[in-house]
Amino acid sequence: MTDWTWEYNPSQEHVVGGLPPGVMAEIERLATELAVLGADAAKVGRPVDREGGLREFDILNGRGFINFLAVPRHHCVYVCGVTWYG
């Protein structure tokens, strides 16, 4: 277990406002799991050839994806964007 947390950036309304509750729950579940990974979250998802920077991770069997940043100096994973194909 790490001391990392996660947050929406810039805000929950901006990132996931209007999405179905099940999709929001899945995003929050994944964000919690990414925070548990701590600094290793910077290696998850795409791009696969490098770590750090804005990362992308598929959700719900390819029906969308999240963009996130793992910031070691803040001990935080920031969920910055969600694309939902419905």
One digit per residue, pLDDT tens: the chain, 86 residues? Answer: 679 999 999 999 999 999 999 999 999 999 999 999 999 999 999 999 999 999 999 999 999 999 999 999 999 999 999 999 98
What are the structure tokens assigned to 41, written together?
Answer: 């979250």
- CB count in 10 Å sphere of residue 75: 14
Model confidence, pTM: 0.92
- Give me 37's structure tokens: 């990974």
Burial state string for 24-60 with b = 16 or more CB within 10 A and e = fewer than 16: bebbeebbeebbeebeebbebbeeeeeeeeebebebe
How many angstroms separate the CA atoms of 78 and 70, rounded?
Answer: 6
Domain ranges, ordered by start, for the chain: 5-84
CATH number of 5-84: 3.30.2310
